[in-house]
Each structure stands twice: as C-alpha cells, then as structure tokens.
Amino acid sequence: MRLTYLFDPLCGWCYGAGPVLEKLAARHTVALELLPTGLFAGRGAGRMDAQFAEYAWSNDQRIAKLTGQRFTDAYRTRILGAGGAFDSTAASLGLTAVHVTEPDRELTALKELQLARYVHGQDIVSAAGVSEVLRSAGFAEAAERMLARDPLLVEAYGRRIQTAQALMRRHGLSGVPALLAGDGTDQRPLPGNVLYQPIDGLLAQLGAS
C-alpha cells in the first residue's frame, strides 16, 4: 500500500502523528512518501509573538494529552518565549536535502528536527539551526548541501511543495497532517483522526492488517 504523508515540520499536530507514522513505516506492506506542504513557509510564515505563543502552548497541551508526545519547558522558554520567526522554509529545505541524499531516512530526519524543537528547545527555523541538527543526527551531506543553497536542491524543494499543494487542492484538504492512500486516480484521503488512534484501526482501513 502506497501512502503519502502531507505535513509541515513546524506543525505540532504533525509531531503528534509521529508514533503512528513510525509504525506504518516499519511495515513491509507499506510504502510511505513524505511531502512538505509549505503551510508555514513563504506567505504562510509569521512571527512568534506572545499571543501566538500562548495559543500554540495551549494547543500543544491538547496534542500531548492525546498522543503522549512531549512538549518541554525548554521548548516553551527557548522557542515560544523567545519570539522571532515562525517559518518552516529551512526545515523543509533540510528535509529535502535528506530526501535527495538519503531518501530512506527522511522520516528519521523529520523526527530529529521535531525532537530538537519540541523537546530540546533548539532552533529549526534558521538554516544554521537546521543544519546543526541534521549534522548532529548523522546527516552531514544533507546539512552541507542545504547550507550551500545548492540550486538543484532548491529546485527539488520547490517541486515537492508544488506537488503537495496540488494534492491538497485535488483532495479538498485545508490543513496538515494529512494521509493519502493509493496512487493516481485511486488515491484517497484518510480521516485525519487515524493518525492519533491505535494503528490497528488504520491498518484495517488500508486492508493491510
């Protein structure tokens, strides 16, 4: 079964979906493709002001309660409390660099970036911050290529964003995370809540159990 996962690396609900995604990716009957949507990049980027930080922390507590994922005081202080940009461009570019250099490890890279932000309170908004996280996690080539702003890498990033956004329009999706099953004309979106429930229900829907 081919699955396409639409996400943004700064999306807390996408972080919450991590445990189910890992279980899916571990199954030999599932081929999982990751596509960043650019939801919080470009015109979707913003600033982390006090009001937004309060809203984000409240939302994060709901995610933690539902999924068991951790949102630490380090994240609350160093990320939410520090202000600054809220822009997923660098993180999505870094993931594209992993996709180009080590495609089978992109989900691992996404997890490392999410843990860096939500658990360790590290910067994954700047290119330097993303590069440091990737390098520390063993993605040295990807880190180097993203810092160099390799034109081919930037082009690949643009194509992935465009593909993801086209899929969202095609299926009438307005937010992330989203999971699409199948390919081509047979592709269909799955209910969003399947990413926060025991995996057996999702596998039953896929006919893969």
Residue 150 belongs to what domain range?
2-206
Q: Domain tally for the chain?
A: 1
Cβ atoms of residues 134 and 97 within 8 Å: yes
pLDDT score, position 149: 87
- CA-CA distance, 101 to 7, in Å (whole number)? 20
Q: In a structure prediction context, what are the per-residue pLDDT tens digits for the chain, which is 209 residues long?
A: 899 999 999 999 999 999 999 999 999 989 999 999 999 999 999 999 999 999 999 999 999 999 999 999 999 999 999 999 999 999 999 999 999 999 999 999 999 999 999 999 999 999 999 999 999 999 999 999 999 989 999 999 999 999 999 999 999 999 999 999 999 889 999 988 999 989 988 888 887 44
β-partners of residue 49 are: none
CATH number of 83's domain: 3.40.30.10
Cβ atoms of residues 101 and 145 within 8 Å: yes
pLDDT score, position 209: 40
- Beta strand pairing status for 2-7 and 46-47? unpaired
